[in-house]
């Protein structure tokens, strides 16, 4: 696969000052040279220098674009292969025509993420670092960007490698005692080494795992679902948080029939707010589907904002919704407080009903209480401390899953050790744990999984 040369437009579609065609592989230099006319005589272009000239069709001699070209020799390149970048004008035609010429000259169209995949295969970055590239590209807040950058620099990978090193040393002890079964002292030493070193390794794993939910939320945002009966003001609340008239608001119950999703930046944390169809028993088919979707959203949410109409009595429908929320983190909003005549008393009784959940009185109409709600949202998820990433953080569900499996294998090994199981059985658990950790950095990852990860990239990356 690495024997062919790949090419793609590496800048986003649309018009821009420049657009870049990137070529990588053994024939990159030759192909780049074939489609380019230097404006003065250049015998041997130097690596990592920018040259001025024209993209030219080698067959017809037609000039396509005025451009800059860079030849970058292996190994100091993005992919570690020879790389050529042609900076064209950023328009659809100059770029697609230039790419066409490059393909005609012998390159193959790159698949999504294939440049980064080559950087991984050629050992410039590991899998966790490759994933960090997508994180960085998709970051919606500065915090998410910082997390991506830390992972790209290899912070998580180093931590994982250190833990793996410890485990590998233990494995060596175990294998020595398997090889010399007649030496009881070798086995005793192995058991003692495992006992002494496994707890610290487990502690490091749990410390990483503890950062996982926090890390994912910092990266992807808090998924906050707004739920409640029809007409209580859910869509009005979404619009107020977004500060734009995104969702349709009417006095007709059942206005929202589908799920709406929007992002805002709340003090450096991305908040994905999801407006849902009001939950109620209904004969209307469209609305029923909407309600079913609401229930799905509820399951995946990190946080639920349950909206009540404070001017209406708390009903059995309300309590049914609260039951559906279950033990998810939940903030209750008492909306339409502007309609209350005896506000204190009415709110007091609501507070009792929804306790121990926090109740935030609100009037979307009068725009009062919104700031309190925003603070409560961040508090609910971060328990008062939206910490910025100082230490290594796990931000991906894939990594979390692998860490948990490693932890499980080590715990099983520890249990077996204490029960006096044979050392070769313990070694199996240790191997499994090492494999799980290797999935994070990509040392022990299946080809299909790696493919899947890179498919999530855009073309040209
Ligand atoms: N008095 C008052 N009316 C409000 C307030 N917030 C919303 N409303 C009104 O309540 C009605 C329903 O608002 P929506 O935001 O559409 O309610 P919803 O919960 O999204 O309703 P469905 O989509 O039907 O489930 C509209 O007429 C709003 O103008 C408020 O704070 N005070
Ligand atoms: Mg609505």
Distance from Cα 161 to the centre of ligand 2, integer Å: 49
Q: What is the CATH number of the domain that holds 85?
A: 3.30.1360.120
Shared-domain flag, residues 204 and 229: no
**Best CA proximity match to 149, nearest among 132, 126, 172:** 132
Distance from Cα 250 to the centre of ligand 1, integer Å: 7
Best residue for ligand 1 mutational test, from 226, 227, 231 (most atoms within 8 Å of Cβ): 231
Which run of H or E residues covers position 141? Answer: none
**What distance lies between CA 218 and its chain's CA centroid?**
9
Shared-domain flag, residues 198 and 329: no
Q: Which pLDDT score is estimated for 126?
A: 94
* Residue 8, token pair as written in the block: 């793609």
Q: Which pLDDT score is estimated for 236?
A: 95
**d(Cα 64, Cα 361) in Å, to the nearest integer?**
64
Query: Does any domain span residue 199?
Result: yes
Q: Which ligand is nearest to the CA of 364?
A: 1
Q: What is the CATH number of the domain that holds 200?
A: 1.20.120.430
Q: Which of 79, 110, 141 is the last residue before a domain boundary?
A: 110
Query: Does any domain span residue 218?
Result: no
Q: Which pLDDT score is estimated for 92?
A: 93
Q: In what order do the strands lie in the sheet with 303-309?
A: 260-266, 269-275, 222-228, 303-309, 330-335, 358-361
Residue 256 CA, closest ligand 1 atom number: 23
Shared-domain flag, residues 207 and 85: no
Shared-domain flag, residues 19 and 85: yes
Distance from Cα 308 to the centre of ligand 1, integer Å: 10
Q: Which of 318, 350, 382 is the last residue before a domain boundary?
A: 382
Structural domain containing residue 74: 6-110
Distance from Cα 433 to the centre of ligand 2, integer Å: 48
**d(Cα 206, Cα 392) in Å, to the nearest integer?**
12
Shared-domain flag, residues 331 and 439: no
**d(Cα 370, Cα 367) in Å, to the nearest integer?**
7
Q: Which pLDDT score is estimated for 288?
A: 81
Best residue for ligand 1 mutational test, from 233, 251, 287, 373 (most atoms within 8 Å of Cβ): 233
Q: Is 340 helix (H, G, I), strand (E, B) or coil?
A: coil
Shared-domain flag, residues 405 and 273: no
Shared-domain flag, residues 153 and 77: no
Distance from Cα 232 to the centre of ligand 1, integer Å: 5
Q: In what order do the strands lie in the sheet with 83-90?
A: 36-38, 49-56, 63-72, 83-90, 16-24, 6-9, 108-109
Q: Which pLDDT score is estimated for 85?
A: 98
Q: What is the CATH number of the domain that holds 321?
A: 3.40.50.300
How many Cβ atoms are within 10 Å of 353's Cβ, its own excluded? Answer: 15
Shared-domain flag, residues 250 and 283: yes
* Residue 353, token pair as written in the block: 């009903």
Shared-domain flag, residues 229 and 376: yes
Best residue for ligand 1 mutational test, from 236, 238, 251, 336 (most atoms within 8 Å of Cβ): 236
Q: Which pLDDT score is estimated for 387?
A: 55
Query: Does any domain span residue 204?
Result: yes
Q: Which of 77, 110, 143 is the last residue before a domain boundary?
A: 110
Residue 249 CA, closest ligand 1 atom number: 16
Q: Which pLDDT score is estimated for 390?
A: 64
Q: What residue ranges line ligand 1, CB within 6 angstroms?
A: 228, 230-236, 249-251, 253-256, 277-278, 335-336, 338-339, 363-365
CA distances from 320 to 279, 323, 335, 355 (A): 9, 5, 18, 15
Shared-domain flag, residues 19 and 60: yes
Query: Does any domain span residue 147?
Result: yes
- Residue 13 contacts by C-beta under 8 Å, 6 or more apart in sequence? 92
Say if CB 308 and CB 295 are below 8 A apart.
no
Query: Does any domain span residue 118?
Result: no
Query: Does any domain span residue 138?
Result: yes
Shared-domain flag, residues 77 and 137: no
- Tell me how many domains the chain contains: 3
Best residue for ligand 1 mutational test, from 226, 241, 249 (most atoms within 8 Å of Cβ): 249
Query: Does any domain span residue 1?
Result: no
Distance from Cα 252 to the centre of ligand 2, integer Å: 9
Shared-domain flag, residues 255 and 310: yes
Say if CB 218 and CB 395 are below 8 A apart.
yes
Query: Does any domain span residue 341?
Result: yes
Chunk the chain into consecutive blocks of 10 residues (it has 461) and report each block's average pLDDT, rounded to whole numbers: 90 93 98 95 93 96 97 97 97 96 97 94 94 89 88 94 94 88 84 91 94 82 91 94 90 88 81 87 81 86 93 91 89 95 89 91 94 88 60 88 97 93 91 95 85 84 87
Q: Which residue has the tokens 């100082």?
A: 390
Strand pairing class (260-266; 269-275): antiparallel
Phi, psi of 67 (to 5 degrees): -155, 170
């Amino acid at each position: 696969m690495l024997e062919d040369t790949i090419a793609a437009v590496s800048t986003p579609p649309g018009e821009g000052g420049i657009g870049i065609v990137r070529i990588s592989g053994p024939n990159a230099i030759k192909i780049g040279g074939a489609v380019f006319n230097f404006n003065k005589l250049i015998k041997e272009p130097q690596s990592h220098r920018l040259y001025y000239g024209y993209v030219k069709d080698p067959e017809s001699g037609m000039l396509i674009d005025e451009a800059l070209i860079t030849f970058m020799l292996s190994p100091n390149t993005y992919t570690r292969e020879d790389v050529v970048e042609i900076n064209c004008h950023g328009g659809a035609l100059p770029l697609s025509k230039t790419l066409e010429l490059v393909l005609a000259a012998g390159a193959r169209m790159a698949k999504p993420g294939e440049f980064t995949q080559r950087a991984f295969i050629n050992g410039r970055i590991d899998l966790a670092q490759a994933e960090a590239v997508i994180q960085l590209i998709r970051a919606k807040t500065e915090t998410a960007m910082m997390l991506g950058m830390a992972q790209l620099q290899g912070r998580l990978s180093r931590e994982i490698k250190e833990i793996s090193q410890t485990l590998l040393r233990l494995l060596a002890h175990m294998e020595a005692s398997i090889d010399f079964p007649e030496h009881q002292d070798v086995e005793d030493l192995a058991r003692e080494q495992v006992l002494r070193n496994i707890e610290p390794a487990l502690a490091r794993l749990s410390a990483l795992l503890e950062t996982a939910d926090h890390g994912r939320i910092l990266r992807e945002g808090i998924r906050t679902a707004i739920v409640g009966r029809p007409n209580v003001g859910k869509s009005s609340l979404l619009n107020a948080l977004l500060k734009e008239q995104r969702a349709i608001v009417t006095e007709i119950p059942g206005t929202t029939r589908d799920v709406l999703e929007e992002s805002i930046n709340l003090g450096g944390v991305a908040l994905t707010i999801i407006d849902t169809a009001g939950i109620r028993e209904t004969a209307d088919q469209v609305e029923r589907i909407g309600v079913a979707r609401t229930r799905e959203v509820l399951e995946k949410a990190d946080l639920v904002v349950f909206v009540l109409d404070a001017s209406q009595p708390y009903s059995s429908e309300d309590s049914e919704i609260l039951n559906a929320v279950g033990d998810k983190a939940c903030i209750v909003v008492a909306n339409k407080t502007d309609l209350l005549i005896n506000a204190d008393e009415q709110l007091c009784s609501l507070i009792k009903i929804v306790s121990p959940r926090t109740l935030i009185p609100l009037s979307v109409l009068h725009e009062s209480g919104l700031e309190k709600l925003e603070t409560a949202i961040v508090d609910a998820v971060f328990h008062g401390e939206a910490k910025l990433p100082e230490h290594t953080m796990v931000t991906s569900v894939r990594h979390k899953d692998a860490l948990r499996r490693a932890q499980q294998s080590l715990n099983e090994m520890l249990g077996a050790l204490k029960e006096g199981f044979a050392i070769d059985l313990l070694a199996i658990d240790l191997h499994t744990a090492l494999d799980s950790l290797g999935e994070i950095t990509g040392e022990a990852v299946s080809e299909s999984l790696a493919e899947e990860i890179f498919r999530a990239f855009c073309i040209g990356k």
